[in-house]
Amino acid sequence: MSDHFRPTLSSALCYRDPKAAFRWLEDAFGFEPTMAILDAEGNLVHSEMRFGDGLIMVGSEWSPMHKSPRSIDGLNTQTVHIQLNDDIDAHCARARAAGAVIAQEPENQFYGDRTYRAVDLEGHIWTFGQTVAEMSAEEWDKAGGFVTKTRLD
């Protein structure tokens, strides 16, 4: 596939039921399905979904080290952040209507973004943000009481 999209960085998420997750992520968050590879028994062995210029892979719990939060008492070792261009409040309403647990309602942040946090059908944590005020590092440092640097000393 010469036209297959390959971003520099993507995230792969494991689910107990990757087919259900694949469908749900489209309905709830608006991911665009781009690839689903099934084995001879119809099991989803690899899939890819796009959101803007980002890509996620949705798969099964394929080794003892690759687990859904549902299989490890809801624990997460990472979250996925999606930066939206459109109405974040409408996006949150769509996610809630599809069954997402809204862990943090949409709220304006000191750094100029409006964000919300959602938990998917198997416990993965997702954050969504939309820039509502362009701010410099000096402005958000002053507003939040922080010091922004490029590198640590």
Per domain, the residue ranges of the chain are 8-62, 78-144
- % the chain with pLDDT above 70: 97
Strand ranges for 39-112 from DSSP E: 44-51, 54-60, 80-83, 101-108
* The pLDDT value given to residue 41: 95
- Answer yes or no: same fold for 8-62 and 78-144: yes
* The pLDDT value given to residue 151: 95
CA dihedral (116, 96, 30, 129) in degrees, to 10, reads: -10
The mean predicted confidence, pLDDT, of the chain is 93
Is the pLDDT at 42 greater than 80? The verdict is yes
* The pLDDT value given to residue 3: 62
Please, what is the angle between helix 88-97 and helix 18-29, to 10°?
A: 140
Task: State the architecture of 8-62 in CATH terms.
Answer: 2-Layer Sandwich (3.30)
* The pLDDT value given to residue 6: 81
Domain 78-144 class? alpha beta
Per-residue pLDDT band for 1 (boundaries 50, 70, 90) equals: very low
Q: Alpha-carbon distance 31 to 54, whole Å?
A: 10
Are the C-beta atoms of residues 56 and 10 closer than 8 Å to each other?
yes
Give per-residue pLDDT as tens, 91-131. 999 999 999 999 999 999 999 999 999 999 999 999 999 99
